[in-house]
Structure 1
Amino acid sequence: MNRSSVSPIDLGATRTHSPAEEEDGLSHDAVKDVGAEEDESINVDDDARTDKRLNWTVEEDKQLASAWLRNSKDPVDGNGKKVERYWEDVTTEYNKNTETSRKRNRNQLKIRWDRSRKPLTDFHGVWVNADRVWQSGMSDDQLTDKALEMWAGQNSGKAFHLLHMWKVVRGQQKWSAYIARLKKEKEKSTKANSNLSAVVNLDLDGEKRPMGQKKAKKELKGNKKGNDALSNLNNKFDKFIEASNKNRAEREKMIEIQQSLADKKIEAAKISHEAAHEQTKCKMLETYTQLLLTPHDQLNADALAERNLALESMRLALFPNN
């Protein structure tokens, strides 16, 4: 199963829809990311006033994720579809095997997916970080449990409610491509902002060039007020540039500190895990030695068989290559 290498920093920021999201048929409307809680409900009919509401079930979440995946894999239409046509096809796929009383329209499915997308990508980043810390010695289920613990720690103890949905899309080609595009667009945006900052600094530096000799003589002769105003403006520009550079340096230093702390936290967790493993192995070795050296002449057949079985199990765990 493929594992995408994207951090929560890459995926967790609130932003407008990117070209990659539009390509995958996501809505342009601003939709509040509320974590897509399990008990979220929607009106059965958006075109009429009604008190009837329909809660989303786990199976319906899975069905929506599957429809999103299957439709986007179309070899003919694929991701070239317009947003509205794309979601019409997803809606048709979703409602194909849905009982009449549980069918939903296009807008309802779009809203549910848009609200679920950010928690799904955020958790994916947390899972990738967990995989970096515990790359070996853990089963896939144990690794997922660690990611859930990390999620709760980063979200004030709140549980991740969309694990069932994440398991549907995880490892799928469409989801991996979507995650890769988000990361690429994030890198492009960061690079563009950096280049823009450099251009602005060059323009501002140009304002500080010394005044020409002829212009200086002219202003000295008869335009003292204008000269004072220009001098005042230049001073303000100088202060603005100085403050901007200072703020940028402080932000960059803060980012470096935060990244360093994150790296140290991950490394400390890995060391702690390895130390616990070694401690367990030492205790097992001590027990194995004691059991091996303990006299067994007086043991009956059953007790002797249990002793030998225990010794063999511990030997395989301690010395797997022997």
Structure 2
Amino acid sequence: CEREQKRSKNFSKEEDELLVSAWLNVSLDPVQGVDQSRSTYWRRIYDYFHNSKTFDSDRTQSCLMSRWSGILHYVNLYAGCVSKLEARNQRKNALRMFKSDKQHRNFPHLHCWEKLEDKAKWKNRSNQSGTISKKKQKTTTNSSPAAAAQLVVTANGEESQAAMPTVDRPTGKKKEKDKLRPCSNIEALHYLLVKKKEADKEKDLKKEERCQKAFAMQEEKIRIKKERNRNEEERIRLEKDKFEFDRNLEEERIMNVDASTMSTKQQLLYEQLKNDILARRMKN
């Protein structure tokens, strides 16, 4: 998003404040709460931002995430200064203390801090962060206010963890989920029944498809067998016709032979052949 911001204008005060409002409101949903994935969580923040804006803004989801990471870093540092000075009743000097640290020039997100500081979600998050980092803070009692604030950031882990706070659920969330649980069980049972019916239907379709394929293969085998039989019958018929044709030619030759020049035996032989030919033809 830093590259995107270099190509586009910087975030305005209105955009920062709306992003803070989105972060504060999204996870306060009585049912959704923190029980959602990082991508779903930030998709809801993105939707809240663009559905609630009253100004032109085309910030992407990744851009909003990156901006929130920067805001969170500086606000945590400033919160550390405020915490230090509240113990001394010198809260008005928090900005001066923040700027006095060599690592900081100014606090660019005061408008964000003013929206966050009195919200229950922010306080719960800060309290939890303070509990986690208590042991580390014991070893840094002489460190600067900025260093103490940095421990809050370190205890929170990376920005993705801060964006998904594990705070106590708002009042009414458990009751809301308890109300929904019977419905969820019924819906789950209905879902399983629907899936079973779909699986059975698919199984029946596959079985029918296999039967149809087997039937088609059997029909194809019968067709091929019949085709082979027809071809064989045709071959036999052609051979028979050829035999008859050749025999007729030979018989015609015998019937037309002039036996007058032959010997007596040859004449008797051809005479017998001619008689056999005539007898067969008369019979047919």
TM-score, length-scaled by structure 1:
0.40
- Structure (1 or 2) with the larger CA radius of gyration: 2
TM-score, length-scaled by structure 2:
0.45
**Structure that is richer in helix per residue:** 2
